[in-house]
Amino acid sequence: MRAMTIRDLVADSGLPSIQHLEALTGGARMDNKLTLVTLTNGQQLLARKPIAADDLQDQAPRSSFLAQLGIGFPKVYATAPDGSSLVEWIPGVSFADRLAAPETTPDPEDVVWTWLGESLAAVHAVTFPQPLQGPVGPTELTLKPQDPVDDLLASLNRARSWITQRGERPANLPDRLTGLLDKHAESIRAEHPCLLHGDNNLDNFIVTEHGVRVIDWDYPEVGYPLAELSALDEHAYLNGLLAGLPQAFWRGYGRTYPRELILLYRAIGCINWLTQDNWRGFQTDPAISDTMKQKLHRWHGLLTSWIDTLPDLLR
């Protein structure tokens, strides 16, 4: 079967013809080849083509499902069997770029944090029966009963040897984190599973004139909200807010959680991220820009430093 081109996608959408194509190479372009499409009527769209072989399948069923949920999912104009799609172009600046703007420093009271909280609250408002979890795949939704406390404990146990190898100071972390799991088990299980975006890199949130839009829905899943909130807390730290998500975010989100509980989720997630082998692969991957490689190298250092402070944070 012949691969569909961007022109094929535009033709399938019934929109006017293409005037200009511009490859987008900045930011965290690790999973998709992105092209800004300008039509003869001035309308702009985004053409997306997955890079990973696992993603080379039609996204139409998942896109149709997500579009019905009232979460601000970007409009899809056309899809192809190889995973390519033509979607709404959302003008604005990524949340990461907003925080990194040279003329500003990250402001924890900036209204954009409230907008971000509101956007994520809309996603998490799509709930599912306890304790169902699983991926929202391109063609199917696969949910199984999974105890969230058991999941966290299994993740922690997988990382025990890595923690021990890091030296004497953090060597007792597994036991301390296990104790926190026991302490908060009831409240963790009391939460309802919900829709998760699944990739909380701040490049995936676009600041517009009136709010924040969530983009790049490549890894949505059903899981527990603190898994996503703690990951977002981590990305706030990686992007300059050392204290994590500010109060302005929680005002927009509509509720808060005990800081100790966020730290527990974040610690286990951070440790498992650091144990992954792909940190080395990133540096030699020709598909990843030099700018992104530098960012990932800096992130690795920040994550490692944060783990070293955990014994003090957990006191």
**Euclidean distance between CA atoms 24 and 97, whole angstroms:** 15
Q: Which residues pair with 218 in a beta bridge?
A: none
Superfamily of domain 93-313: Aminoglycoside phosphotransferase (APH), C-terminal lobe (3.90.1200.10)
Q: Are 150 and 218 in contact (CB under 8 A)?
A: no
DSSP state of 79: E
- What string of pLDDT tens digits covers the 315 residues of the chain? 456 799 999 999 999 999 999 998 765 556 788 999 999 999 999 999 988 756 678 889 999 999 999 999 999 999 999 889 999 999 999 999 998 876 666 677 789 999 999 999 999 999 999 999 999 999 999 999 999 999 999 999 999 888 887 764 555 888 899 999 999 999 999 999 999 999 999 999 999 999 999 999 999 999 999 999 999 999 999 999 989 999 999 999 999 999 999 999 999 999 999 998 888 778 787 777 788 889 899 999 999 999 988 888 887
If DSSP codes are grouped into helix, strand and coil, which group holds residue 50? strand
User: What residue type is assigned to position 47 of the chain?
Assistant: A
**Euclidean distance between CA atoms 246 and 164, whole angstroms:** 32
* Domain 6-88 part of CATH 3.30.200: yes
**The dihedral sign for the CA sequence 222, 224, 230, 236:** positive
**Euclidean distance between CA atoms 282 and 188, whole angstroms:** 34
If DSSP codes are grouped into helix, strand and coil, which group holds residue 86? strand
pTM over 0.75: yes
Q: What is the pLDDT of residue 168?
A: 44
First to last CA, the chain: 60
**The dihedral sign for the CA sequence 240, 242, 243, 244:** positive
Q: Are 222 and 193 in contact (CB under 8 A)?
A: yes
Q: Which residues pair with 88 in a beta bridge?
A: 45
Domain extents for the chain?
A: 6-88, 93-313
Q: What is the pLDDT of residue 260?
A: 94
